[in-house]
Amino acid sequence: MPEGDTVWLAAQRMHEALAGRVLTRTDFRVPQLATTDLTGRTVLEVVPRGKHMLTRLSGGLTLHTHFRMDGSWHLYAPGARWSGGPDWQVRVVLSTDDVDAVGYRMPVLELLETADEDSVVGHLGPDALGPDWDPDVVVANLLADPDAEVGTALLDQRKLAGLGNLYRCEVLFVRGLSPWTRVRDVPDLRTLAEKGRRLMDANKQRWEQSTTGSLRAGEDHWVFERTGRPCRRCRTRVLSAEQGPAPFARLTYWCPRCQPGPSPAPATRPRAPRPLGRTSYKP
């Protein structure tokens, strides 16, 4: 699933391409919007909210999209060949005189009144890359469930929006915290939240995501997707295990030496080594 910085950059590119321009053609390829035609409306702005994207249109309408695991927006010059996937994966097309914005594999695609945006994003906590960021509110949100494991709490978009699996694993490593530490036992939640925001902010202007300072493949993360590989600090084998309640459990990566503290429950076995993967998202 794309992280908040990826959605932020995608929204920026969409805003630059569409804002202030009139839609000359729209094509919705989902049943609930199949007869919708937004031709003639002006795109006012495209803004991110956590992992959500809001495309605001004249006449008081907003197109709400969420990428989840596989969704993406691609921008093409009129007449150019679309290369984001087979045509059957296209869910929406927004065209102006200058660009075709094509949404692929978009699992969330809905049109609503702009005044009703809170119905889809009002539950979110402060956005790590948004103007509403407030670490004190994030701390209060986290402490509302003090018995939660911090590795699970950081993924709760109601507590803070935008932070995903990559950044929660990396920030916990940087802060030397076991993902299974209870929120109440984290010594400085404010610094933890701020560090997560800074890691995302450092990457928001590029598709590549690095938390180590290196953009070279295999050197860009501390522990994320490094199961079985030596820790970059102490050479201890990096572990991974599922964390969180089903069906929302996510694979967590950590160094048991650099991140001392509670371990997964005995029923949750650390996973065997796996090849290094990539999570960069390029629309």
- With b meaning 16 or more CB within 10 Å and e meaning fewer, what string describes 59-93? eebbbbbbbeeebbbbbbeeeeeeebeeeebbbbb
Is 250 among the catalytic positions?
yes
Candidate list 21, 105, 250, 271, residue with the active-site label:
250
Is 229 among the catalytic positions?
no
Place of tokens 């069906």: 247
3-state secondary structure of 185: helix
Is 2 among the catalytic positions?
yes
> Cα separation of 162 and 50, whole Å?
4
Candidate list 49, 51, 56, 226, residue with the active-site label:
51
**Which class for 219: exposed (0-12), middle (13-18), buried (19 or more C-beta within 10 A)?**
exposed
3-state secondary structure of 216: coil
> Cα separation of 198 and 203, whole Å?
9
Candidate list 3, 149, 170, 225, residue with the active-site label:
3
Is 219 among the catalytic positions?
no
Q: Is 108 left (phi over 0), alpha (psi -120 to 50) or beta?
A: beta
Annotated active-site positions, please? 2-3, 51, 250
